[in-house]
Structure 1
Amino acid sequence: MVLENQENHEVIVLSQEDHSLPLNPNYGWMLDFKNIKRLPGPRFSDGTINWQCPCMAGGSLVAHRCGHQFRQLYICMSENDHDDVTVKCPDQFINWSACMQNVSGSIYDDGRINIECPCLHSPLAHRCGHLLREAVQCTNSSKTNPRGTDCVDHFIEYDLCLRSFDK
């Protein structure tokens, strides 16, 4: 076992042999990590959708004026089939996008997304928020018409990240 101190961090490097030995009592605090209760992600263990997940803005995406369209989009994208998510829910995405564009403050007149909109605060703070930020930045710098059609892959990455917390 090799111990290194780097500023405020202690790095422990274990060999395969060290890893198979019982934990040294000096590092018993590590056992506390086993007791951390993991909050549910966008899906509960039974497969139902957790509409209150922080990734859904703690429910505000769902309770938002465009929440009905968002729920329809999320349910469609969550269906357990093998269809490509980039093509399986275009109507739901367009309906949700159109609704969001009509909400004062969330979409600018030129089609850019207002990253400062309170409707995005919670999703951007989520563990996958960096991917949503990239998707919004891509959309905002997009030159396509309609704006952002070249950014679908970024939104898919965000969705896949959210789904990774289901497991």
Structure 2
Amino acid sequence: MSYCRENGKDHIIFATKEDLDKPSAALITANENSEEPGLILPNGDINWNCPCLGGMASGPCGVEFREAFSCFHYSTADAKGSDCYEQFYKMQECMSQYPDLYPAKESEEETDDDSEMSIPDQSSVDKVLQEKSVQGTSFVNTGTKS
């Protein structure tokens, strides 16, 4: 016989082997409203929290990335983004200061694959920021959205 017990905020469910051997009667329905927004929000703004950005909007070059990406997204130039050279140059300059986080793309003679610049994970960002902090440069992640 199965039963449920509450322990503070938790609900503990005890089930017998016989209960678990039966097919589930649970109905799971897709909720249209619970879908995560993509890179571009319904109002046309950029969703800086989108996992598709791979953390590029945060970290030591997050400001430069957001400025360059915003410029490109909102660009009205005939060749979209052609008016964003300065922002992308600043982003590239910043990334070159952190080769452990943003390794440069190898030339075609050096590699046979078409690997692009890798996107760092949060632990790599934290490690480099810690090293820079020890060297006398400090960065503060305010956790605010831009």
TM-score range, shorter chain: 0.3 to 0.5
Larger RCO, structure (CA 8 Å, separation 6 or more): 1
Higher helix share: 1
